[in-house]
Amino acid sequence: MSDTQTLAEKVCSELATAIVRGEIRPGERLSEKALVDRYGGSRAPMREAIQKLEARNLVVRIPHAGARVVSLSLEELRDIYEVRLELESMACRLAATRMSDDEIKDLEGLLEEHARSIEADQGLSYYQKSGNLDFHYRIIEGSKNNRLKQMLCGDLYHIIRMYRYQTSTNKQRPRQALKEHQRIVEAIAARDAELAELLMRRHIQVSLTNLESLLAQQEYLS
Amino acid sequence: MSDTQTLAEKVCSELATAIVRGEIRPGERLSEKALVDRYGGSRAPMREAIQKLEARNLVVRIPHAGARVVSLSLEELRDIYEVRLELESMACRLAATRMSDDEIKDLEGLLEEHARSIEADQGLSYYQKSGNLDFHYRIIEGSKNNRLKQMLCGDLYHIIRMYRYQTSTNKQRPRQALKEHQRIVEAIAARDAELAELLMRRHIQVSLTNLESLLAQQEYLS
DNA sequence: ATACAGAGTATTGTATACAATCTTAGTCGT
DNA sequence: ACGACTAAGATTGTATACAATACTCTGTAT
């Protein structure tokens, strides 16, 4: 069971990271021939890779006209954030009743690690990069709802990460974010689902609010 | 712009309805050759059709092993209902603030139609079939959130309709459901987002509660 | 009788070739 | 100068052929 991975899957995941990293820009075209030239193989696997990306909402395909990297308007981005806000709050509520004591212990340990990393003031970027995601990911895991997990991690997060430069709020408030994380975990440990949901909602709300103010500015211009 | 629809799309939508109607049963295999024999054409479009179905979560594909119609456990179904409950409640909350007065008027008209149809006691099945869906669809539309609409109508509803025999609750309570619909619309018309969300949540909750009791029974057996 | 191994078949993954559609550049007319 | 039409080129949709993998059935050994 070494490399049973299909070529289409490999190309798909490579393209996905390239898109998320911005190496391929929104609106840019993905021609099948160009992918053949770049990754080798034939058109069939490339086509399949593109379709997989379409399923992840990373590209838009128009019959006979080709595929383009998705290019979201601010309004579409607001829609996504709105849904994410709701689903992740829900996940937090469920996690408060469904996480095992051990999982909660682990989560507390993770936060302590983050705290140390911040105090050392050198893992700041670490905290930003994977730490924040890690925390949210564990909450989602804790919801014990696989469909929810699939929707949040599979569909929404790819796009959110792609446009993460919008979430400039989080950049210089790691301590504040950590505090909020801690209070969320406290609520979960207390099995207080309502409070946990509320705190998570507030925690994510800042990004959404920012986005909405951007939207408002944009409307002034038109 | 007559029949610019691609063969893969045609096969995909035909298969989708066949799956939702139960003509192709959960767990059944979808061989590419069989599809060629049934729908004509060659393997390439059939493959693409299957991939599209996978994107809709109607089939599961395993590399080198083929595709099967998705077969959900009760637990997976619970997950889906849980997410649907949350998202549709959210849609209702948003609709209360975002629907235009005209749209609300239309919605009230729709409910009056349903009422007549029920009193006549002949369109009972009509109410069940498209009427119920129509109501929920309009609320979702009213949320003005296209991503939310896509998730609910595109991904979740296909599967929910596929397993609708589970929602036996709704069968003999059209009057009750209509009442609930009316109160929801009243809340929307009053622009009371919180109440509208709460009422929708309760309205859908019965199905979820049923499912959970089924789950509980199942656990007794194991 | 059951479990395991292996060959053969069937099915999927990939490559290439052809047909249909769109895009683009250029020309013509107003 | 600008817009509509036309034709060449490029790209996608479809068909067919080959390669790689998985499934199945048979036979043997325990």
**Nucleotides in chain D near protein beta carbons (<7 Å):** 11-17, 21-23
**Nearest by CB: A48 against B6, B51, B64:** B51
Q: Is the pLDDT of residue A208 over 70?
A: yes
Size of interface A-B (CB pairs under 8 A): 69
Measured from Cα to the C1' atom, the residue closest to C16 is A42
At residue B129, the pLDDT reads 60
- Interface check B55 vs A, CB under 8 A: yes
Q: Is the pLDDT of residue B1 over 50?
A: no
At residue B174, the pLDDT reads 75
Q: What distance in Å separates residue B9's CA from the closest CA in chain A? A: 10
Asked casually if ipTM beats, i.e. exceeds, 0.95, the reply is no
- Mean pLDDT confidence for B7-35: 95
- Interface check B1 vs A, CB under 8 A: no
In the sheet where A29-30 sits, what is the strand order?
A: A29-30, A66-69, A59-62
- Mean pLDDT confidence for A105-110: 95
Strand D contact with B51 (CB < 7 A) = no
* Other CB atoms within 10 A of residue A154 CB: 13
- Mean pLDDT confidence for A117-145: 78
At residue B171, the pLDDT reads 54
At residue A124, the pLDDT reads 57
Q: Which nucleotide is nearest to A65 (CA to C1')?
A: C22
Quickly state the pLDDT bin for A126 (edges 50, 70, 90).
low
Fold topology of A3-69:
Arc Repressor Mutant, subunit A (1.10.10)
At residue B2, the pLDDT reads 41
Q: Is the pLDDT of residue B219 over 80?
A: no
Strand C contact with B54 (CB < 7 A) = no
Determine, for residues A151 and B151 on separate chains, whether the beta-carbon distance falls below 8 Å. yes
Q: Which of A47-61, A70-84, B54-68, B158-172 has the lowest mean pLDDT?
A: B158-172
Strand D contact with A68 (CB < 7 A) = no
Q: Which of B17, B52, B28 is nearest to B157 (CA)?
A: B17
At residue A163, the pLDDT reads 79
**Nearest by CB: B63 against A6, A76, A151:** A6
Higher-scoring residue by pLDDT: A121, B14: B14
H or E stretch at B30: strand B29-30
Strand C contact with A41 (CB < 7 A) = yes
Among chain B residues, the shortest Cα distance to A72 is held by: B147
Question: Over chain B, what is the mean pLDDT?
Answer: 88
User: Which residues of A are less than 8 Å from B86 in CB distance?
Assistant: 86-87, 90
3-state DSSP call for residue A28?
Answer: coil
**Nearest by CB: B76 against A44, A83, A146:** A146
At residue B165, the pLDDT reads 53
Determine, for residues A44 and B48 on separate chains, whether the beta-carbon distance falls below 8 Å. no
Q: Which of A25-34, B68-77, B205-214 has the lowest mean pLDDT?
A: B205-214
- Interface check B146 vs A, CB under 8 A: yes
* Other CB atoms within 10 A of residue A68 CB: 16
Determine, for residues A54 and B54 on separate chains, whether the beta-carbon distance falls below 8 Å. no
- Mean pLDDT confidence for A201-222: 81
Q: Which of A209-218, B8-17, B77-86 has the lowest mean pLDDT?
A: A209-218
Structure tokens at A43: 């058109």
- Mean pLDDT confidence for A113-120: 82
Q: What are phi and psi of B73, to 5 degrees?
A: -75, 165
At residue A171, the pLDDT reads 54
Higher-scoring residue by pLDDT: B189, B160: B189
Q: What distance in Å separates residue A222's CA from the closest CA in chain B? A: 20
Quickly state the pLDDT bin for B120 (edges 50, 70, 90).
confident
**Domain boundaries defined on chain A:** 3-69, 74-221
Q: Is the pLDDT of residue A139 over 80?
A: yes
H or E stretch at A124: helix A124-126
User: Which residues of B are less than 8 Å from A94 in CB distance?
Assistant: 82
Strand C contact with A65 (CB < 7 A) = yes
Residues A136-150 as b or e (16 or more Cβ within 10 Å = b): bebbbbbbbbebbbe
At residue A2, the pLDDT reads 40
One-letter-per-residue 3-state SS of B61-130: EECCCEEEECCCCHHHHHHHHHHHHHHHHHHHHHHHHHCCHHHHHHHHHHHHHHHHHHHCCCCHHHHHHH
Quickly state the pLDDT bin for A26 (edges 50, 70, 90).
very high
Q: Is the pLDDT of residue B148 over 70?
A: yes
pTM: 0.89
Quickly state the pLDDT bin for B101 (edges 50, 70, 90).
very high
At residue B121, the pLDDT reads 63
User: Which residues of B are less than 8 Å from A5 in CB distance?
Assistant: 63
Q: Is the pLDDT of residue B23 over 80?
A: yes
Among chain A residues, the shortest Cα distance to B72 is held by: A147
Among chain B residues, the shortest Cα distance to A93 is held by: B86
- Mean pLDDT confidence for B149-164: 86
Choices 3.30.1490.20, 1.20.210.10, 1.20.120.530, 3.40.50.300: CATH for B74-221: 1.20.120.530
- Please write the tens of the pLDDT for every residue from B169-217: 555 567 788 899 999 999 999 999 999 999 999 999 988 888 888 778 8
- Interface check A154 vs B, CB under 8 A: no
Q: Which of B216, B31, B6, B196 is nearest to B107 (CA)?
A: B196
**Nucleotides in chain C near protein beta carbons (<7 Å):** 11-17, 21-23
Q: Is the pLDDT of residue B12 over 50?
A: yes
- Mean pLDDT confidence for A102-110: 96
Question: Over chain A, what is the mean pLDDT?
Answer: 88
At residue A59, the pLDDT reads 97
- Please write the tens of the pLDDT for every residue from A156-174: 888 888 876 545 555 556 7
